[in-house]
Amino acid sequence: MAGLTGRMSTVVKAKVSKLLDRAEDPAETLDYSYQKQVEQLQNVKKGIADVVTAKKRLQMQEATLQQSVVKLDTQARQALSGGQEDLARTALERKNVAQTELQGLDTQVAELEDQQQKLTDSEQKLRAKIEAFRTKKEVIKAQYSAAEAQVRISEAATGVGEQMADVGLAMQRAVDKTENMKARAGAVSELEAAGTFDDITALGSGEDDIDHQLKQLSSQPAVDDELQKMKGELGQASAAPAAQIPAPSGDAAEAPPAEAPAPDPAGTAGEAGGPAEGQS
């Protein structure tokens, strides 16, 4: 059988024979094979732990990005209320990118979940085969002559070796997947660093490289739409002056705390350093 199946079989057989040709004496082969099998099982456990770690890391990033989305939305509203439409647009662009990244992370977490399940299944199968091998080697030792034992050991070890090679393949694919995700995770961290601004005024009017990149990444019409929608919610038909605008009655719940109308019973308005106050 050429191609697909032939190549796959050849590669596995080569790996298995590499595992086996290290020992020539039957008793040695038995012990060596069994020892290698148990070692491999430990490696599988480590592989599963690595996948779980990678998954947790992605889930933490998801949580951070989720917070960024909420924060950027709030900041966009504040900027718009304060008449800083450019700033609001920047915040919404970043929010847009963060949301796209979130979707990507969701897919990746699901993929790792799948990998974890497959590796766990493989580990169970390998464990069962190794257990069968352990039983079989005692039988072989007790029942067969040296020459016959050699043949049967070789058969059994090859069978378990194939299972090991297969688990090795599953592990390698899992590692490849997490490596790809790490590269992406780097990009997300960059976004996180640029994604929100603790002090919204600190951004100023100038834009940095990241802003330009984000603009290219984000879908402009979506940002325009959201900006318009937000304006509507804030009761702004067009760009408002920098003056404080009283929250429209219907949207009181949506207005960020710093936008509370001027009379402030709690007396905190005086220390408000800017629209971002209370959000950082």
Partner 1 sequence: MIVRISGEDQYRLADDLHGQLDQLAGAAHAAVDAEDEQGFALALKELLDFVRAHGDVVGDDEIETSDVILPPSDTTLQEAAREFTGEGLLPD
Which residues in 59-98 contact partner 1 (CB under 8 A)? none
Residue closer to partner 1 by CB (options 124, 220) is 124
* 9: contact with partner 1 by CB under 8 A: yes
Q: Which residues contact 177 (CB under 8 A, 6 or more apart)?
A: 111, 112, 115
Q: Which residues contact 204 (CB under 8 A, 6 or more apart)?
A: none
Q: How far apart are the first and last CA of the chain?
A: 64
- Residue 13 near residue 99, CB atoms below 8 Å: no
Q: C-beta of 181: minimal distance to partner 1 in Å?
A: 16
* 156: contact with partner 1 by CB under 8 A: yes
The binder of partner 1 chosen from 92, 149, 165, 258 (CB under 8 A): 165
Q: C-beta of 114: minimal distance to partner 1 in Å?
A: 8
Positive or negative, the Cα torsion across 230, 233, 238, 244?
negative
Residue closer to partner 1 by CB (options 31, 264) is 31
The binder of partner 1 chosen from 62, 162, 251, 277 (CB under 8 A): 162
Supply 80's token pair. 């718009």
Alpha helices, H only, the chain = 3-20, 26-81, 85-143, 146-195, 209-217, 220-233
Q: C-beta of 30: minimal distance to partner 1 in Å?
A: 13
Q: Please give the Cα distance from 228 to 239 (Å, whole number).
A: 10
* 197: contact with partner 1 by CB under 8 A: no
**Size of residue set near partner 1 by CB under 8 A:** 35
Closest C-alpha to 49, from 112, 133, 142: 112
Which residues in 169-188 contact partner 1 (CB under 8 A)? 169-173
Stretch in the footprint of partner 1 (CB under 8 A) among 51-59, 161-169, 214-222, 266-274: 161-169
Which residues in 114-133 contact partner 1 (CB under 8 A)? 118, 122, 124-125, 128-129, 131-133
Residue closer to partner 1 by CB (options 170, 210) is 170
